[in-house]
């Protein structure tokens, strides 16, 4: 497995965990949920930028 593949898989895993935490946080605390959803959105934007960068790298 290349470092690119590992990085993409790790980002997807992190997005999934943050969304799960946000859903769980809706029952526990609005602050946990909000922070988790914001972090998930930031990870999605980061993932898009990484994919664009990986297209230019061989």
Question: Tens digit of pLDDT for each residue in 30-50?
Answer: 999 999 999 999 999 999 999
In a domain, 58, yes or no: no
| Average pLDDT for 5-13 | 93
Contact 36/21 with Cβ under 8 angstroms? yes
- Entry pTM: 0.83
pLDDT of residue 58: 61
In a domain, 13, yes or no: yes
Mean pLDDT of the chain: 91
In a domain, 36, yes or no: yes
| Average pLDDT for 11-31 | 93
Please, how many CA atoms are within 13 Å of residue 26, restricted to the half-sphere of its CB? 7
Which comes out higher in pLDDT, residue 58 or 8? 8
Which domain covers residue 20, as residue numbers? 3-53
Count of the separate structural domains present in the chain: 1
Residues in the chain: 58
């Amino acid at each position: 497995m290349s470092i690119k593949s590992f990085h993409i898989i790790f980002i997807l895993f992190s997005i999934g965990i943050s969304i799960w935490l946000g859903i769980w946080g809706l029952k526990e605390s609005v602050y946990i949920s909000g922070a988790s959803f914001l972090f998930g959105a930031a990870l999605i934007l980061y993932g898009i930028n990484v994919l664009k960068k990986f297209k230019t790298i061989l």
